[in-house]
Amino acid sequence: MGSVQFLGSCYFIYIFTTNYFVMDKHITKWMPGENSIGELFNAFPELNVRQVARAMGVNETLMQQYVNGSKRPSPERRVEIERYLHNLAERLSSVKLL
């Protein structure tokens, strides 16, 4: 999987490719387990599962099942989720507050 860049507060978080993320000025080893999607949403509670599902056009219940580990997404769906998060990160990084 490629890296996910997410801008939270003023820290960049790199997940999957680098296997590290930075949050609250601490560098922590990211150890994706069997349910990396669930771990991602747990690590970043500001990501709303239902809103991400709606924005992607994915059934909300199915996305919640991916997050809680009761269903596993196909490799193609994992890429779709990753691409959505990349796009979201790009949109967030372009925000200019006046």
Tens digits of residue pLDDT in 44-72: 889 999 999 999 999 999 999 999 999 99
Considering the domain boundaries, does residue 98 fall inside one?
Answer: no
Residue 36: per-residue pLDDT: 84
DSSP bridge pairs for 14: 5
Regions of the chain short of the pLDDT cut 50 = 1-30
HSE value, Cβ hemisphere, 13 Å, CA-based, for 14? 7
Residue 14: per-residue pLDDT: 44
The string of DSSP codes covering 35-97 is THHHHHHHH-TTS-HHHHHHHHT--HHHHHHHHHTSS---HHHHHHHHHHHHHHHHHHHT---
Residue 34: per-residue pLDDT: 66
Considering the domain boundaries, does residue 72 fall inside one?
Answer: yes
The total domain count for the chain is 1
Question: Domain containing 45: what range?
Answer: 4-93
Residue 12: per-residue pLDDT: 42
CATH number of residue 76's parent domain: 1.10.260
Q: Coil, strand or helix: which one is 2?
A: coil
Could you tell me what percent of the chain has a pLDDT over 70? Answer: 64
Considering the domain boundaries, does residue 85 fall inside one?
Answer: yes
Q: What count of other Cβ atoms lies within 10 Å of the Cβ of residue 9?
A: 9
Considering the domain boundaries, does residue 75 fall inside one?
Answer: yes
